Amino acid sequence: MIILVDRFESATVILPVINETTSLVQTVEIILRDVKDQLEQIIIAVADRTTQESMAVVEQIRCDCGDLVVVHQQKLPFLGGAMREAFDLARGSHVILMASDLETDPNLVRTLISEAEMHPSAIITASRWCDGGSFQGYSTIKLACNWIFQRLFSLLYGTSLSDMTYAYRIYPTRLVQAIRWEELRHPFLFEALVKPLRLGVPVIEIPATWTARTEGASQNTFFRNFEYFRVGMKARWASRCSLLKPGVDILG
């Protein structure tokens, strides 16, 4: 097993924002209520497409929270670009990947951190398919496609993981800053699990309920989901060293 870090010290939370307002406020409020003392920073990633209404909320949060909140204007495009840049800005020993639209329940942040305290070198990921997890507002067709996809890639990677695409996770920061990321759009969220799996990083699941967003519109399209197959296949057959940035060695 790769030993990336021997203990949890603090967390950096990454929140990408495009058109979220009320849900963003609720997400930040719950995180601060539950784990403020364990936070190093909250990175709010904004883009040229972030709405004026959302930017006003972001500025208010920054004023209220002071140095705890970092607002980052992303340069790389799309969701993957935002996450990749935020990874490099993270100062905590661990980094939390989540959404700001309440599709990732912020009440689970304290559970992610508790698990990271017990397993600091592992990725802790939320699962909608394991016992205790569920979907609320997911269409029947998407549910069936998701189940088939999960089974296929769990077999391909030889893992018992039940949900490899729900991007609600806590990582050792050293890991995400060492990997050579390639994707810019939503398939990055799958890349961000399969590359660590290929490197031999342990992944632990906790149950979660996914609830469809009620504010704004998703930036992902249905047909873009087929790009996940390309990402999963490419990482599965890549050499482990090729997945890391030049000059980085975490393999031991």
Whether 225 is in a domain gets the answer yes
- Is residue 169 within 8 Å of residue 123, measured between CB atoms? yes
Whether 222 is in a domain gets the answer yes
Whether 1 is in a domain gets the answer no
Identify which of 191, 187, 190, 170 has the alpha carbon closest to the alpha carbon of residue 179: 191
Whether 249 is in a domain gets the answer no
Whether 54 is in a domain gets the answer yes
Could you tell me which residues are beta bridge partners of residue 135?
210
Query: pTM here?
Result: 0.94
* Distance from C-alpha of 59 to C-alpha of 67, rounded to nearest angstrom: 12
Asked whether the predicted pLDDT for residue 126 surpasses 90, the reply is yes
* Distance from C-alpha of 60 to C-alpha of 53, rounded to nearest angstrom: 11
Span 218-244, average pLDDT: 85
**CATH number for the domain harbouring residue 41:** 3.90.550.10
How confident is the prediction for the chain on average, in pLDDT?
94
Whether 3 is in a domain gets the answer no
Residue 139 has what pLDDT? 85
Asked whether the predicted pLDDT for residue 49 surpasses 60, the reply is yes
Q: Does residue 217 or residue 40 have the better pLDDT? A: 40
Residue 190 has what pLDDT? 98
Q: What percent of the chain has pLDDT over 70?
A: 95
Which domain, by its residues, includes 213?
11-243
Phi, psi (deg, nearest 5) at residue 39: -95, 140
* Distance from C-alpha of 65 to C-alpha of 60, rounded to nearest angstrom: 9
The number of folded domains in the chain is 1
> What is the token pair recorded at 247?
């000059």
- pLDDT band (50, 70, 90) for residue 138: confident
* Distance from C-alpha of 3 to C-alpha of 249, rounded to nearest angstrom: 12
Whether 122 is in a domain gets the answer yes
Q: Give the pLDDT confidence of 66-76 residue by residue, as tens digits.
A: 999 999 999 99
Residue 216 has what pLDDT? 61
* Distance from C-alpha of 190 to C-alpha of 176, rounded to nearest angstrom: 13
Whether 135 is in a domain gets the answer yes
